[in-house]
Amino acid sequence: MSQTKILFVCLGNICRSPAAEGYFNYLIKQENIKDKFIVDSAGTSAYHEGSPADGRMMSAAGERGYKLESISRGFNSKSDFSSFDLIITMDDDNHADVISVSPSDEAEKKIHQMVDFCTKHDVSEVPDPYYRGVDGFELTLDIVEDACEGLLEKLLNGELNA
């Protein structure tokens, strides 16, 4: 059976992309379809490589019933483009950074903006909560959860080629 491989990408890989990875894994576990997906996350910078998700993000996600278990790593243009079917970026800067290292037009087709999958939030980016208070983490999770649900729905309905 073929698995869809999804990589979520933000700047440091300690807030937004681990939240997306954690929530998407939570969703597919709830739907009993975890075996159909491989989910990972990475950062366009390697500032926090080897670190767990930000404690504030882990706490906020935990309050909502899911865990963030990823370890930060940098985006690797060689292996990530060849390994993943979908590369989902959190903001315009991450999107531009990933596109700038795309090895081909075909590889570039794998890159999508996270907010394009939102069904409840009309926003242009997933905001980085790092320098914002608790409300910033809650807003980021609201948007990430909305987008993950929309992404999964599109994948299950065959509306997204992966």
Q: Is 56 a catalytic residue?
A: no
Q: Is 10 a catalytic residue?
A: yes
pLDDT value of residue 47: 82
Instruction: Determine the topology of domain 4-156 in CATH.
Output: Rossmann fold (3.40.50)
pLDDT value of residue 30: 96
Treating both helix axes as pointing N-terminal to C-terminal, what angle do 55-63 and 16-30 enclose, rounded to 10 degrees?
30
Q: Is 132 exposed, middle or buried (0-12, 13-18, 19+ CB in 10 A)?
A: middle
pLDDT value of residue 2: 82
pLDDT value of residue 48: 83
pLDDT value of residue 128: 94
pLDDT value of residue 50: 85
pLDDT value of residue 160: 87
pLDDT value of residue 55: 95
The domain segmentation of the chain, as residue ranges, is 4-156
Q: Mean pLDDT per 10-residue run, the chain (162 residues)? A: 91 96 98 96 89 95 96 94 97 97 95 98 95 90 98 94 72
pLDDT value of residue 82: 96
Q: Is 73 a catalytic residue?
A: no
Which of 16, 54, 80, 118 does the annotation list as catalytic?
16
Which of 10, 15, 118, 148 does the annotation list as catalytic?
10
Which of 54, 80, 97, 128 does the annotation list as catalytic?
128
How much is the pTM?
A: 0.96
d(CA 109, CA 86): 8
Q: Which are the contacts of 98, defined by CB distance < 8 A and separation ≥ 6? A: 9, 44, 75, 87, 89, 111
pLDDT value of residue 46: 79
pLDDT value of residue 130: 85
pLDDT value of residue 49: 87
pLDDT value of residue 161: 75
